[in-house]
């Protein structure tokens, strides 16, 4: 059985919300996996992962970045790379201060953009024991398969328009995170409809299919591979063979740069890690085995 407790902590003057999952009947101090979700994600989509880690004997902390889900912050649905990194640092600090958690057994887990954050933050935190980066972001691909030049230009135009609105202090011009091919969205894929259903669950979810496109500008300059080369902790990079959103040619560099890295490749697409329970369970089993090589739980 797993216990779940609502928690909150401050980051940059904003209150961030989270949930701590604890293995029932286990006395501390426990190792703790701090989980970071991806672009536009919310913590409730990571509850199954946190429950799995807790069922195996570790504490697991999920949280929402500022501007998303249950956390405070304005404007909403705006990805701020540096702000999210600070939110992760604040989550780690909260975990280390909790008496039930061993402050020297913090493990980081990140998905997609969260995988980049986990690597970058751990590179400056030598107390982090180990890092898992699942389908991690490492810069945008030069060309997104299935997206025409006209569609790319249209997306760039709306990014710049929203960025201008931000400079003028205006509210974001939101666009969908996910849509079908040919539609204006951050990700336009044949899998979009299925993935929207997965993220939306039964409707009782924090996730919204809406983002401020100006946030993509900070991501365009984000290269976690440079931080991977400074990472002292062991790193497991889990990638998908047919990933178009974080393709192998970009994610592989993270494992090649990190001094103590391993790369594992799984069949499927970027969305298989969300939509396919069998893939999720297999990958989680490998990740738990990886963590246990560096700390007992």
pLDDT value for 27 = 78
The confidence score (pLDDT) of residue 143 equals 61
Is the pLDDT at 254 greater than 80? The verdict is yes
Phi and psi at 127, nearest 5°, equal -85, -15
Q: CATH number for the domain including 234?
A: 3.40.50.1820
Specify the pLDDT at position 291: 98
Tally of domains within the chain: 1
Write down the H helix ranges in the chain.
47-55, 81-97, 113-123, 149-167, 192-200, 215-220, 224-228, 248-257, 272-275, 277-292
Residue 128 has pLDDT above 80, yes or no: yes
Burial label, 190 (beta-carbon count in 10 A; 0-12, 13-18, 19+): exposed
Q: Read off the pLDDT of each residue in 266-295 and give the average, rounded to a whole number.
A: 93
pLDDT in tens, 48-71: 999 999 999 999 999 999 999 999
Residue 183 included in any domain: no
| pTM, full prediction | 0.95
In a domain, 193, yes or no: no
> Going by C-beta distance under 8 Å and a sequence separation of 6 or more, which residues neighbour residue 79?
39, 40, 65, 113, 211, 212, 215, 216, 218, 219
Q: Tell me, yes or no, whether 217 lies in a domain.
A: no
150 assigned to some structural domain: no
- pLDDT for the residue numbered 196: 72
How far is the C-alpha of 62 from the C-alpha of 72, rounded, in Å? 15
Which DSSP category does 230 fall into? T
Looking at every residue in the chain, the average pLDDT score rounds to 93
| Residue 139 confidence (pLDDT) | 92
Residue 202 reports pLDDT greater than 60: no
Q: What's the Cα-to-Cα distance from 252 to each of 134, 168, 209, 236, 282, rounded to whole Å?
A: 11, 39, 29, 11, 20
Looking at per-residue confidence, does 207 or 87 come out higher?
87
The length of the chain is 297
Non-local (6+) Cβ contacts of 107 within 8 A are: 31, 32, 33, 34, 58, 128, 129, 130, 131, 132, 291, 295
Q: DSSP letters along 99-128, please?
A: TTEEEEEEEEEEETHHHHHHHHHHHT-TTE
d(CA 212, CA 188): 16
In a domain, 152, yes or no: no
pLDDT value at residue 144: 63
Q: Is the pLDDT of residue 181 over 70?
A: yes
pLDDT in tens, 66-109: 999 999 999 999 999 999 999 999 999 999 999 999 999 999 99
**Coil, strand or helix: which one is 265?**
strand
- Full residue range of the structural domain in which residue 128 is found: 2-143+222-292
Domain-located, residue 196: no
3-state DSSP assignment of residue 63: strand
Q: Does 164 reside within a domain?
A: no
pLDDT tier, 203 (very low <50, low <70, confident <90, very high otherwise):
low
- Domain-embedded: residue 85: yes
């Amino acid at each position: 059985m797993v216990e779940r407790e609502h928690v909150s902590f401050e980051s940059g003057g904003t209150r961030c919300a989270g949930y701590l999952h604890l293995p029932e009947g286990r006395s501390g101090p426990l190792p703790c996996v701090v989980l970071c979700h991806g672009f536009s994600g919310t913590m409730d989509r990571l509850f199954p992962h946190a429950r799995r880690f807790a069922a195996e004997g570790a504490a697991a902390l999920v949280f929402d970045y500022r501007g998303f889900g249950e956390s405070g912050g304005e404007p909403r649905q705006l990805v701020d790379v540096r702000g999210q990194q600070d939110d992760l640092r604040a989550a780690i600090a909260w975990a280390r201060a909790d008496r039930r958690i061993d402050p020297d057994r913090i493990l980081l887990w990140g998905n997609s953009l969260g995988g980049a954050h986990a690597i970058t933050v751990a590179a400056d935190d030598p107390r982090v024991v180990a890092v898992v980066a699942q389908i991690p972001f490492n810069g945008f691909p030069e060309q997104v398969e299935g997206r025409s030049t006209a569609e790319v230009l249209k997306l760039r135009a709306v990014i710049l328009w929203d960025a201008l609105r931000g400079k003028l202090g205006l509210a974001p011009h939101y666009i969908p995170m996910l849509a079908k091919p040919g539609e204006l969205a951050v990700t336009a894929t044949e899998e979009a409809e299925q993935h929207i259903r997965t993220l939306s669950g039964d409707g009782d979810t924090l996730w919204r299919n809406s983002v401020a496109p100006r946030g993509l500008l900070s991501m365009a300059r984000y290269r976690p591979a440079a931080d991977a080369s400074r990472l002292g902790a062991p790193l497991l990079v889990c990638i998908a063979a047919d990933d178009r959103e974080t393709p192998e040619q970009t994610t592989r560099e993270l494992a090649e740069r990190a001094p103590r890295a391993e790369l594992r490749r799984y069949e499927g697409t970027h969305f298989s890690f969300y939509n396919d329970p069998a893939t999720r369970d297999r990958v989680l089993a490998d990740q738990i085995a990886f963590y246990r090589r560096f700390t007992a739980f």
